[in-house]
Structure 1
Amino acid sequence: MKIAVAGTGYVGLVTGVCLASKGHQVTCVDVDEKKVEKMKRGETPIYEPGLQELMAQSVKNLSFTTDYKEAYRDADVIFIGVGTPEKYDGSANLAYVYEVAKQIAQNAEKHCVVVLKSTVPIGTNDKIESYIHDKQINDVKIYVASNPEFLSQGTAVHDTLHASRIVIGVTEEYPAKVLQKVYEDFDAPKLVVERRSAEMIKYASNDFLALKISYINEIANLCEVVGADIEEVTEGMGFDGRIGNRFLKAGIGYGGSCFPKDTKALNWLANFNDNEIRTIRAAIEVNENQKFKLIKKAKKYYHDFLFLNVAILGCTFKPGTDDLREAPSLVNVPLLLEDGAHVRIWDPVGTANFKKRFPDKIQYCDSIEQAIEGADICLILTEWESVKNFEVEKFQKLMKCPIVLDGRNCYSLSAFENTKITYDSIGRKTINPNLYKEN
């Protein structure tokens, strides 16, 4: 099929490349000329494992352009994968979605199916359909369908090609048949539902996972108080098939482009409709507080951070991506700087983006060793494999004061038991807790 994809962020570009890999003729549209030129050279504008390789393999079926008029003119299917960032009040900003819808309405010259891949509030597909019909110029039939994405950054290509399910939200039979044809070579369950149900499936799924993370973080915090070990607790929980063992890893909270935005959007939508989802509101509050967990722990060892050398390992919200959105580093680093700390940051792929936000006052390091050398304390914010495989003896050897606060539980407790390192993690006992406490 001839497919156009509006937007080349994580959702749009991954969707376009994966569809091209299945033999569809795909044109990816973006307003950013520099970005388009980069993609024409075979370079991805985002860091996503496997994406650039798949782009190269699918080059015969892929094209990139800023000319939306030509792209939408005779496409069979048009996917909308533009961003829906949160507004100040927590609601979703749909300006980009409506802009694309207007472009489609004014340029489509054949019957086509418009597919909302972007995460949008329940009822948006209905509104977009009415908007397109009001704005369209040519006498063609334009259908609107919901097809939410369920990809995770860092595994987005695999999540798309090997999806757990493909949800198709429609009000008519024709767009359902078209999308089933689009996805016929994807080995995944295909669920055809009403459009509003499809929109809700996306929010309900993401928000449930966010709930699970916030719940286990609260249990971890209680484990520290009562002397239980969160990893033993979650192992015992995970054997229960009704619970499962995924999204039960304690830490300093979730981040990224989905969970924070989607929990706030659903909370806003409920309030807007004179309803309340107290569990979602609680998950948001718990997650925001959890991001400061290591700063609170650090206060056990230092009254303040004035003139301290603080090493930060990892600044992205998760490993496998250079994305900083809602990352704990974005709230922790400013606090450290305000308190007079000398901050050093190491991250294998995220420092370029972090440097755009903090161009000075921070030392950006090329290695973990450089970051921790002479440091008074170390905060682990992202569980990169390089961190997990790091020789813990080096903390003792290189740091001025080997206090390691691990926000992602990267190491076993036993690795520190015969050292002179204070190791303080999430939901577990602290190893050597009294070695370096300030008087």
Structure 2
Amino acid sequence: MKIAVAGTGYVGLSNAILLSQNNTVMTVDIVQAKVDLINKKKSPIVDKEIEEYLSEKKLDLTATTDAKSAYENADYVVISTPTNYDPDKNFFDTSSIEAVLDILAEMNSNSTIVIKSTIPVGYTEGLQKRYPSLDIIFSPEFLREGHALYDNLYPSRIVVSYPKDKPQLKNKAVEFAGLLKQGALKKDITVLHPNCTEAEAIKLFANTYLALRVAYFNELDTYAESRGLNTKSIIEGISLDPRIGDYYNNPSFGYGGYCLPKDTKQLKANFKDVPENLISAIVASNTTRKDFIAEQIIAKKPKVVGVYRLTMKANSDNFRQSSIQGIMKRIKAKGIPVIIYEPTFEGTDFFNSKVTKDLASFKSECDVIIANRLSEDLSDVKDKVYTRDLYSRD
């Protein structure tokens, strides 16, 4: 099977590696440096399993910037390009997906196109009308940053949908799901084949529930800190209820990363003309949490605030939309200088704040250090550290 993958982020690269164990895969990116790294069997992103598989496994994988050569004669073209949320349009920016579809339409491609990018509810049906000559299906991903390949090797479920007005594409959806299962290490995997619009809803509602859970435990923590209560004691008490569970309950500075902020806003936008209260509250809650955290730090009257890591999660180099950036903006608005320790950042300045890789000088220059997640790096300056991390895990 010949497969092309557009995009080499967490979604694209993890899928390309998974599929290249048993198929010929060409992955496409517009950044030559990322293409060169992949062809040298080096990962352009931080992900333990991606790094291991690229360097150690036998993969039929090639990276290129030549999209047309990759898409030519491909049985499947997987689109995993970024879809950032556009606040002005109140909608995902899906132009990167359409750029790939424009090329395929121009080529009169016979490939089955699998969209892996996150998209609004109802988007695939609209594409069928805009690109009637193309066969387009949608397969949402459920991956964690920094564990993307692991979550493909051991998936919680596989969802590959097909358009309700093209039932003949169900066979392609079943076949593609089989390719994903073939590359996985987990054997007993639940596979679903809903229509495309239902699959789009599955993705956005799943991520919004995760954001809800983060927001819930953060608001619990806000209440406890405001009232002088022990947050951990309360969380342990309620988490013993098996319906709630002792997981995904570690307070933070707010939900962030590439997916949850944009997916919750997109779902809220999709609720236009549909009654709702909860989805809007989840989005608003994250702003309230950042306000509260910033106020707690400002109340300490720091001379210099240190930000320990811009990244959202441990073992990750991704700090897109990280919640700590929102805290930084609020602190700096009060005229308080901020210094950032971020070893994965190439540069010395981030939005007019000094960035350093020198941990020792960072610790000495700052009188308050904020950390979304604790690290042994800070064990010798515990008296300076402000965090809401209770369990030293994401």
> What TM-score results when the alignment is normalised by the length of structure 2?
0.89
User: Paired residue for 1:386, among 376, 380, 385?
Assistant: 376
Please say if residues 237 and 243 of structure 1, whose CA atoms lie closer than 8 Å, have aligned partners that are also in contact: yes
Which deviates more, 232-241 or 157-166?
232-241
Please say if residues 291 and 327 of structure 2, whose CA atoms lie closer than 8 Å, have aligned partners that are also in contact: yes
Q: Highest Rg: 1 or 2?
A: 1
Which deviates more, 151-160 or 236-245?
236-245
Please say if residues 315 and 382 of structure 1, whose CA atoms lie closer than 8 Å, have aligned partners that are also in contact: no
Please say if residues 5 and 12 of structure 1, whose CA atoms lie closer than 8 Å, have aligned partners that are also in contact: yes
CA 356–121 in structure 1, closer or farther in 2 if over 3 Å, else same:
farther
Q: Describe how 1:337-416 pairs up with structure 2 within 5 A.
A: 337-349=332-344, 351-352=345-346, 355=348, 357-358=350-351, 361-367=353-359, 369-383=360-374, 385-387=375-377, 390-391=378-379, 394-395=380-381, 402-409=383-390
Please tell me the root mean square deviation across aligned C-alpha atoms, in Å. Answer: 2.2
Shift of 1:55: 1.7
State the 4+ residue runs in structure 1 displaced beyond 6 angstroms: none
State the distance in 1 between where 2:292 and 2:358 align. 26
Q: Residue 143 of structure 1 corresponds to which residue in structure 2?
A: 135
CA 207–71 in structure 1, closer or farther in 2 if over 3 Å, else same:
same
Which deviates more, 208-217 or 293-302?
293-302
State the distance in 1 between where 2:103 and 2:278 align. 39
State the distance in 1 between where 2:275 and 2:85 align. 19
Q: Residue 315 of structure 1 corresponds to which residue in structure 2?
A: 310
State the distance in 2 between where 1:233 and 1:96 align. 45
Please say if residues 221 and 251 of structure 2, whose CA atoms lie closer than 8 Å, have aligned partners that are also in contact: yes
Query: When the two structures are aligned, how many residues end up with a matched partner?
Result: 382
Task: Give CA deviations for 1:254-287 in whole Å, capped at 9, x if unaligned.
Answer: 110100000000111112xx12432111111111
State the distance in 2 between where 1:146 and 1:279 align. 27
Shift of 1:152: 0.7
For structure 2, the 5+ residue unaligned runs are none
User: Paired residue for 1:333, among 322, 328, 337?
Assistant: 328
State the distance in 2 between where 1:37 and 1:131 align. 35
Report the residue type matching 2:376 in the other structure: S
State the distance in 1 between where 2:267 and 2:254 align. 19
State the distance in 1 between where 2:126 and 2:235 align. 43
Shift of 1:218: 1.1
Q: Describe how 1:113-192 pairs up with structure 2 within 5 A.
A: 113-133=112-132, 136=133, 142-171=134-163, 172=167, 173-185=170-182, 186=184, 187=187, 188-192=189-193
Q: Residue 290 of structure 1 corresponds to which residue in structure 2?
A: 289
Other structure's SS at 2:232 match: helix
- Percent sequence identity is 27
Please say if residues 125 and 146 of structure 1, whose CA atoms lie closer than 8 Å, have aligned partners that are also in contact: yes
Please say if residues 214 and 248 of structure 2, whose CA atoms lie closer than 8 Å, have aligned partners that are also in contact: yes
State the distance in 1 between where 2:70 and 2:312 align. 34
State the distance in 2 between where 1:382 and 1:108 align. 49
Shift of 1:99: 1.1
Q: Residue 427 of structure 1 corresponds to which residue in structure 2?
A: none
Please say if residues 312 and 371 of structure 1, whose CA atoms lie closer than 8 Å, have aligned partners that are also in contact: no
Task: Give CA deviations for 1:407-433 in whole Å, capped at 9, x if unaligned.
Answer: 32367xxxxxxxxxxxxxxxxxxxxxx
1:207 aligns with 2:181: no
State the distance in 2 between where 1:69 and 1:154 align. 30
Q: Residue 50 of structure 1 corresponds to which residue in structure 2?
A: 49
Task: Give CA deviations for 1:107-144 in whole Å, capped at 9, x if unaligned.
Answer: 2544x3211111111111112223222xx4xxxxx422
Shift of 1:217: 1.1
Other structure's SS at 1:321 match: coil
Other structure's SS at 1:184 match: helix
Please say if residues 256 and 324 of structure 1, whose CA atoms lie closer than 8 Å, have aligned partners that are also in contact: yes
Task: Give CA deviations for 1:31-52 in whole Å, capped at 9, x if unaligned.
Answer: 2233322322223222222212
CA 108–30 in structure 1, closer or farther in 2 if over 3 Å, else same:
farther
CA 40–241 in structure 1, closer or farther in 2 if over 3 Å, else same:
same
State the distance in 2 between where 1:165 and 1:266 align. 21
Other structure's SS at 2:119 match: coil
Shift of 1:362: 1.3
Task: Give CA deviations for 1:10-37 in whole Å, capped at 9, x if unaligned.
Answer: 211111112113x111110122233322
For structure 1, the 5+ residue unaligned runs are 137-141, 397-401, 412-439
State the distance in 2 between where 1:146 and 1:159 align. 18
Task: Give CA deviations for 1:316-368 in whole Å, capped at 9, x if unaligned.
Answer: 1222211111113323334444544343322343x337x4633x54151422x
Report the residue type matching 2:318 in the other structure: D
Other structure's SS at 2:193 match: strand
Please say if residues 344 and 365 of structure 1, whose CA atoms lie closer than 8 Å, have aligned partners that are also in contact: no
State the distance in 2 between where 1:365 and 1:56 align. 27
Please say if residues 257 and 323 of structure 2, whose CA atoms lie closer than 8 Å, have aligned partners that are also in contact: no
State the distance in 2 between where 1:276 and 1:362 align. 45
Other structure's SS at 2:216 match: helix
> What TM-score results when the alignment is normalised by the length of structure 1?
0.81
Shift of 1:57: 3.4
